[in-house]
Amino acid sequence: MPAAGQLKDKITLQRRGVQDDGYGNEVSGPWEDIFTVSANIAPARGREEVLAQRLQGVRPVEITVRWSSQTVQIAPDWRAVNARKPSEVYNIHDIRDPDGRKQWNILTCTLGAPT
């Protein structure tokens, strides 16, 4: 696991807001910023997936963040945005505590997959 000084990246965690559709139903709204934390973004091996009968490159990454009362709220329906490069949007697939000691959370994400 990285030391605190190695968390050189910053990510903003976002989740979909909920809004009324005018008929009393709740529907998904725009993405809302929840919080920003220091992180380490490390690329994993790339792969290709077949989407709409075409091969599409997918860039998986592992984002390491410190375990906290904020980061324990992260869910797979959220997304992470690189705070220094807002065009990099990561879809979260899995959140895990690698050693069970509540020190780190590792987010398994993809860059380049549809939101």
CATH superfamily of 4-111: Bacteriophage SPP1 head-tail adaptor protein (2.40.10.270)
Q: Which residue has the tokens 């903003």?
A: 12
Residue-wise pLDDT tens digits, 22-32: 898 989 999 99
Q: Are 91 and 81 in contact (CB under 8 A)?
A: no
Residue-wise pLDDT tens digits, 55-105: 566 688 999 999 999 999 999 999 999 999 999 999 999 999 999 999 999
Residue-wise pLDDT tens digits, 96-113: 999 999 999 999 999 865
Distances (CA, A) of 34 to 12, 16, 53, 88: 7, 10, 36, 17
CB burial string 16-48: b at 16+ within 10 A, e below: eeeeeeeeeeeeeeebeeeeebbbbbeeeeeee
- Please determine, for residue 48, whether its predicted confidence score (pLDDT) is greater than 80: no
